[in-house]
A = this chain, B = another copy of it.
Amino acid sequence: MFSVTVRDHVMIAHSLRGEVFGPAQRLHGATYVVDATFSRAELDSDDIVVDIGWATEALRGVLADLNYRNLDEVPELAGRNTTTEVLARLIADRLASRVEGGGLGDSASGLARIAVTLRESHIAWASYERSL
């Protein structure tokens, strides 16, 4: 199995609902350093997993919808708890849509899996992995 990972980041404000979150129930914020990993069993005809330029652009595009925002006020996130885990899945799902829509090139149809890791500090991170 081959994989390629690209890294970017996003800076957001949000609050979390549930006693388990303690002080994180207050409006606060985070920088998420985001790693998006694309995997496939065999390389494409250019000997790559995915065009790294397009992968970088796709990740940047997905993050642009979140960047420098208060997630509590983003309509499509209304009523959802924007935990690191939920955001990892959201980003992975949106990347998957771009792959399926052809946004990462024709050969990206051979991708098997996407994994997204959000590092919220030097001591904590969360991941979500799904098939394509």
**Complex Cα–Cα for A1 and B30 (A):** 23
B85 to A31, Cβ gap below 8 A?
Answer: no
When C-beta atoms are compared, the residue in chain B nearest to A49 turns out to be B85
Which residue on B lies nearest to A54, using beta carbons? B20
The interface bits of chain A over 1-34 (1 if a CB of B lies within 8 angstroms of the residue's CB, else 0) are 1111111110111100010111110111111110
A128 contacts which chain B residues (CB < 8 A)? 1-3
Q: How many copies does the complex hold?
A: 6
Give the shortest distance, in Å, between A63 (CB) and chain B (any CB).
12
In the complex the two chains form, what is the Cα distance from A28 to B33 in whole Å?
Answer: 15
Least CB distance, A2 to chain B, in whole angstroms: 5
Interface size, chain A (Cβ < 8 Å): 60
Determine whether the beta carbon of A27 is less than 8 Å from that of B13.
yes
B33–A121 CB distance below 8 A:
yes
A70 near B28 with CB under 8 A, answer yes
Contacts from A to B (Cβ < 8 Å): 1-9, 11-14, 18, 20-24, 26-33, 43, 46-49, 51-53, 56, 67-70, 80-81, 83-86, 88-89, 105, 120-130
